[in-house]
Structure 1
């Protein structure tokens, strides 16, 4: 057999030579349940690594210096859970040479999941600063009027939504990238007012099993709530002065994301999406967002379930993604969020919808995994 001319004598055999010497590999298959458990383990490891990193930063901080409080290691936010699941899929795809996933052929080891569809491409409507202040005033007023019951200790905030996110898979054999959109699927979250306990059910994207995933704090290493990982009790302590609130957000998110303005906008968007908060704070957050450079009004857009609305939006200068917070055009209540690519980049065309959500229910319930109205219907 021929050796590569430039290989040193001590170098091992290459893949082709090994294939000739060794018997054909087996064809192991991992069950769906096993894959889900691997994903959950990876999410846990990601959270623990983040917590360890923050602890190291605290130990290295000079006397009197301040380090931002860590995110709760035992609690997975909306984006964190989705990112962790994507990491799990990427890791499994990277091991495709050793493990073949159930139902997949050799040339389709890292293809899109069942039910995935091509990413939709829309016309990107022009945003404008004209009417921004009046629109935000309407939204802020609606937030004050839309008061939900304040959760008591022992109760849980319940948020139900429909979500869909764009993903890119790479074929392990050909190296070809493929962009697709997850099938629109429900997501349910329960959060205690103090942020110590919670539950997530989102099986549609294999983020969790049908039973769900705990969001409880690690009792051995509980973390303090922060602007990036808030609880209802924490939100009650925040100022409702828009200028002071925005300064706090800039300070606590310094160095994060794609620039201070974009990170401030992203942080406010995450706060209002999957949370119940004091009405006056929600109003102040919207007024604070209007003060961020680059924020515009988009007159017509749609959420994940097709509801039309008016949007407060901002384009990330680095990625080219425009995030739109969508509100009912008549009541100005919050509907959901949409993210659209505004320019061709990384193989994704301008106008591609890279994220779609719709909040369909917010409530306060007495127990984790309790569905609002279930007692009344029993």
Structure 2
């Protein structure tokens, strides 16, 4: 059985969870958007990105002489549901709200600390998606990553594969049957850790012009969304720079304010989205309403609507010793 890395859309009958609260206390309105068919997407180097051209092919169940390991964690896995928005329809332009947020943010825990290494702890889903032959059913494993990195690039990275997750119930049912056929009881994949090579980390610009270049504003809000995720995954972004990033985003056309949301690990945040009609996907950025730091980045595919990929930033800090 051949399987391929891909992103597909969530079925139209899957509705958003009512887990965000409207300003007036009511549950958010659920609506769906009709757009063109989706393109394939990949998660590369910890950054959500659009794939250009062909994608790699995974063949985990063909006769290679290797056993297929048991799924770690919750072997059954979970079905992913898009984050609920406070403003699901008629969302206002994000610019004024982002500028107001930039003016009120406070220090993050790491702002008053220092150390030789920056530390990032993330979880991501959607990096290598296994798809059935007909492309209808997908599964991917959650990847947990911890990175300690010095200014010269040296440090340590630890990766761990967690439970499988599915974009819909039909995919969960299909892959549970397939995994049961081929599982041999060999156990879960062992965590991997490895040293990082010398590769100097460029200084993070603090001025508006430098941040616009870094965030690829010239290429539009879709590219900028992905670059924001990259920046927060690479740097312990200081308070004033976090404020400038919000102001840069406020000036980028196309972002809509989605209001209060709850991310995938239960943290309250505020969100903006950009509907990328060219690539038939929606980019979602969730920010901490106090510090202005990025909590999560997600991509939602359309027609039908379902989750394509996500990354949550669980912790950022400074330390003198790699873990």
TM-score calculated relative to the size of structure 2: 0.61
Q: More strand by proportion, 1 or 2? A: 2
Aligned CA distance change for structure 1 residues 305 and 271 (closer, same or farther; 3 Å): same
| Structure 2 gaps, min length 5 | 1-43, 165-188
* 2:244 paired with 1:284: yes
- Find the counterpart in structure 2 of residue 148 from structure 1: 111
- Find the counterpart in structure 1 of residue 46 from structure 2: 78
| Native 8 Å contact 1:169 1:177 kept in 2 | no
The one-character-per-residue Cα deviations of 1:46-81 (angstroms, maximum 9, x if unpaired) are: xxxxxxxxxxxxxxxxxxxxxxxxxxxxxx94138x
1:30-45 equivalences in 2 (<5 Å):
none
The one-character-per-residue Cα deviations of 1:7-57 (angstroms, maximum 9, x if unpaired) are: xxxxxxxxxxxxxxxxxxxxxxxxxxxxxxxxxxxxxxxxxxxxxxxxxxx
* 2:203 paired with 1:234: yes
Distance 2:59 2:195 in 1: 23
Q: More helix by proportion, 1 or 2? A: 1
Bigger Rg, structure 1 or 2: 1
Distance 1:279 1:328 in 2: 12
* 2:321 paired with 1:361: no
| Native 8 Å contact 2:220 2:253 kept in 1 | no
Q: Secondary structure at the match of 2:321?
A: coil
Distance 2:150 2:102 in 1: 27
- Find the counterpart in structure 1 of residue 122 from structure 2: 161
Aligned CA distance change for structure 1 residues 291 and 262 (closer, same or farther; 3 Å): same
Which of 158, 161, 171 pairs up with 1:203? 161
- Find the counterpart in structure 2 of residue 318 from structure 1: 278
| Native 8 Å contact 2:156 2:193 kept in 1 | no
User: How many Å apart are 1:120 and its aligned residue?
Assistant: 2.9
| Native 8 Å contact 2:105 2:289 kept in 1 | no
- Find the counterpart in structure 1 of residue 96 from structure 2: 133
- Find the counterpart in structure 2 of residue 268 from structure 1: 228
TM-score calculated relative to the size of structure 1: 0.53
Aligned CA distance change for structure 1 residues 203 and 320 (closer, same or farther; 3 Å): same
- Find the counterpart in structure 2 of residue 39 from structure 1: none
- Find the counterpart in structure 2 of residue 187 from structure 1: 145
The one-character-per-residue Cα deviations of 1:54-112 (angstroms, maximum 9, x if unpaired) are: xxxxxxxxxxxxxxxxxxxxxx94138xx9xxx77x3444xx544154248xxxxxxxx
- Find the counterpart in structure 1 of residue 197 from structure 2: 216
Which of 189, 196, 212 pairs up with 1:246? 212
Distance 2:194 2:212 in 1: 33
User: How many Å apart are 1:311 and its aligned residue?
Assistant: 0.6
Q: CA RMSD in A?
A: 3.8
- Find the counterpart in structure 1 of residue 298 from structure 2: 338
- Find the counterpart in structure 1 of residue 21 from structure 2: none
Relative contact order, CA 8 A, sep 6+: which one is greater? 2
User: How many Å apart are 1:302 and its aligned residue?
Assistant: 2.7
| Native 8 Å contact 1:119 1:180 kept in 2 | no
| Native 8 Å contact 2:93 2:257 kept in 1 | yes
User: How many Å apart are 1:319 and its aligned residue?
Assistant: 2.4
User: How many Å apart are 1:316 and its aligned residue?
Assistant: 2.1
User: How many Å apart are 1:263 and its aligned residue?
Assistant: 1.6
Q: Secondary structure at the match of 1:204?
A: strand
Distance 2:127 2:216 in 1: 28
User: How many Å apart are 1:214 and its aligned residue?
Assistant: 3.2
Distance 1:168 1:203 in 2: 13
* Number of residue pairs matched by the alignment: 246
| Native 8 Å contact 1:140 1:286 kept in 2 | no
| Native 8 Å contact 1:311 1:324 kept in 2 | yes
Aligned CA distance change for structure 1 residues 168 and 161 (closer, same or farther; 3 Å): closer
Q: Secondary structure at the match of 1:318?
A: coil
